[in-house]
Structure 1
Amino acid sequence: MTHDLSWRHARTERVGAIATSQFVGPGDDSIQLSGLIAPPLTGQYSSLATLREMADTGRPWALVTGDGLLLGAFAITTLKETQSLFFPDGTPRKVEFQLGLERVPDEAMAEAQP
């Protein structure tokens, strides 16, 4: 997992002096998750189909760590798959993937509920 955070600082140029800056709040919050599916050893092909379906909705999803810490509401922005080691019928034995997530306001979770 790669977690990228940023903070915004507005800058004002000044004649003959260094620009001033003011903290204006948090910036982008993005997460990249990498994974591997290698049926029948680990994972199922349908897991990637589920991720695609979740992304197709455009809805935010709660992201929770393995130990139960809620990281917030995140939207799926990218899914990259790399297939290799194919069976004779063309089915991949190994699928590596990277999932890109962007933080959205927590209120978006409530608004997205039917």
Structure 2
Amino acid sequence: MLYTIGALSLDTRPFGIDEVQRTASADFAEKSVMGAMVAREFMGEGDDKITLSGQILPFKTGGLTELEMAHAFRRSGQKLPVLRGDGVRLGWFVIDSITESHRDLMQDGVGFFVKHSISLTKVSPAGASSNIVGTILSLFGKLG
């Protein structure tokens, strides 16, 4: 496992990623000071964004089900825990956007190669769902 987003596991197959970008910032308030440089007061942690990118081969190894699960998380706006493969907990994130690029379309309109990019933003865990498994099963119609 390379990363997990809630119950969604990203690995080399079937739903693989091969690139990770992380941008984190801090927030500062600017204060004008006569005869000196502008002073900055630390206000706290700013945005923390992660983008996970990769490619799937739906006709060889699958991965479309996992991609649809990521879309379901995005549509629900659910806060999800994100873990890195070495066991480091990165915190709670929401999926802001998902980009897909289908290449070499097959007869059903799905690409033989599907590049994807999942953009996440860190959020406070307050109000996060404690029943991730139930939510996942309901996405696939297994529960009411």
**Fold equivalence (TM over 0.5):** yes
What is the aligned counterpart of 1:40 among 59, 69, 92?
Answer: 59
Paired amino acid for 2:25: S
What is the aligned counterpart of 2:121 among 83, 86, 102?
Answer: 102
Q: In structure 2, list runs of 5 or more residues that go unmatched.
A: 1-19, 132-144
Matched, 1:11 2:30: yes
Match of 1:69 in 2: 88
Paired amino acid for 2:96: T
What is the aligned counterpart of 2:68 among 49, 62, 73?
Answer: 49
After superposition, the Cα gap between the structure-2 partners of 1:90 and 1:59, relative to the gap in structure 1 and judged at 3 Å, is closer
8 Å contact 1:72–1:103 — kept in the other structure?
yes
Counterpart-to-counterpart distance in 1, 2:34 and 2:62: 60
Counterpart-to-counterpart distance in 1, 2:94 and 2:111: 28
8 Å contact 1:32–1:100 — kept in the other structure?
yes
- Residues 57-89 of structure 1, C-alpha deviations (whole Å, 9 max, x = no match): 111100011122111000000000000012244
Match of 1:59 in 2: 78
- Residue 43 of structure 1 and its aligned partner are, at CA, apart by 3.5
Counterpart-to-counterpart distance in 1, 2:42 and 2:73: 35
TM-score (norm 2): 0.71
Counterpart-to-counterpart distance in 1, 2:59 and 2:110: 12
Matched, 1:78 2:97: yes
Match of 2:8 in 1: none
Flag the structure with higher strand content: 1
Counterpart-to-counterpart distance in 2, 1:90 and 1:30: 32
8 Å contact 2:58–2:114 — kept in the other structure?
no
Q: In structure 1, list runs of 5 or more residues that go unmatched.
A: none
How many corresponding residue pairs? 112
TM-score (norm 1): 0.87
